Amino acid sequence: MTDTTSIPTAPVVYSDTPEEREFELRAAVGSYWTGGRLFIAMFTFLIASEAFAYFYLRSSNNGQLWRPHNQTAPTGTGWAIYFVVLASALIAIFGQTRLRKGNVLDWEVAGWTAVFGGLVAIGLQIWQLTQLPFFPGSSGYASCFIGWAVMNIMMLVGGVYWLETVLARSLRLRSQGTEDGPDQLAMTPSGQIFRANLSACTYFWGFIAAGSTLFWVLFYLI
C-alpha cells in the first residue's frame, strides 16, 4: 500500500499564482462560449421535437383532422409577434457590433430596446392564445400551434431574462472605469467574462429569430 505520509492535508487557505488566475479566466471565458453554443443545441432539439410533431401529424392527417377548414391562428398577431422578435434579435446583434466598436451606450440602448421588444412579443403571444378561432384539441394543427406558442414563450422569457441580466450587469460595471476604458471593453477579467456572456446571449437571440422564422413559415405561410 502506498505510503501516504507525504501527501499533504487540505490547505486552510486558497491561493493561486498569476498563471493560475489566467488559466481560470480563460476557462471561464471558454465556458461561456461552449455553454452558449451547447445551450442553443439543446433548444434546437427542443424545437426540432415541435417541428417533428408538426410534420408527423401533418403527414398522418388522421381523420382528415390535420387542418380542417384551413384553420389558421390569428394572422395579424402572428406576423406582429414574428416581426417584433426578428427586430429585437437584429437590434441585439447590431448593439453587440456597436459595443465591439467601443460604443457602450449604443449597445445599452439597443439591448434595452431588444428586451422591451421581447416583452412585447411575450405579451402578444399570450394575448394571441386568448383569441384563437379554434379549440386546442380540434386538430393536429391546433395542437401543434399551442405547443409552439408555449415553447416560444419559454424561449422568449429565457432570452429576455438573459439579455436583461447582461444589461443590468453592464449598468453596475459602468461605474468601474479602468485604465483601458469602460469595463465592458477592458481586458479586465470581469470585462472579458462580460463580453463572452454577451456574445453567447446574442447568438441565442439570433437562434430565437431563426426558430421564429421557421415556425412563422409553418403556421402562417404554408
State the binding string over 26-65 for other proteins (x if CB under 8 A, else -). -xx-xx--xx--xx-xxx-xx-xxx-xx--xx--xxxx-x
Nine-digit cell string for 136: 386546442
Q: Binding to other proteins by residue 175, rule CB under 8 A?
A: no
Q: Phi and psi at residue 5, in whole multiples of 5°? A: -65, -25
Q: Which of 170, 188, 202, 212 binds other proteins (CB under 8 A)?
A: 170
Is 150 near other proteins (CB under 8 A)?
yes
Binding part of the chain for other proteins, among 2-10, 83-91, 181-189, 206-214 by CB under 8 A, reads: 2-10
Is the CB of 65 or the CB of 80 nearer to other proteins?
65
Q: With binding defined as CB under 8 A, does residue 14 bind other proteins?
A: yes
CB of 89 closer than 8 Å to CB of 205: yes
Residue with cell 477579467: 189
How far separated are the first and last CA of the chain, in Å rounded?
72
Query: Should residue 169 be labelled a site residue for other proteins when binding is judged by CB under 8 A?
Result: yes
3-state SS class at 7: coil
**Residues listed for the chain:** 222
Give the range of 89-97, 103-111, 120-128, 135-143 binding other proteins by CB under 8 A.
135-143
Query: Which amino acid appears at position 154 of this protein?
Result: M
Instruction: Report the 10 Å Cβ neighbour count for 137.
Output: 10
CB of 134 to other proteins, least distance (A): 11
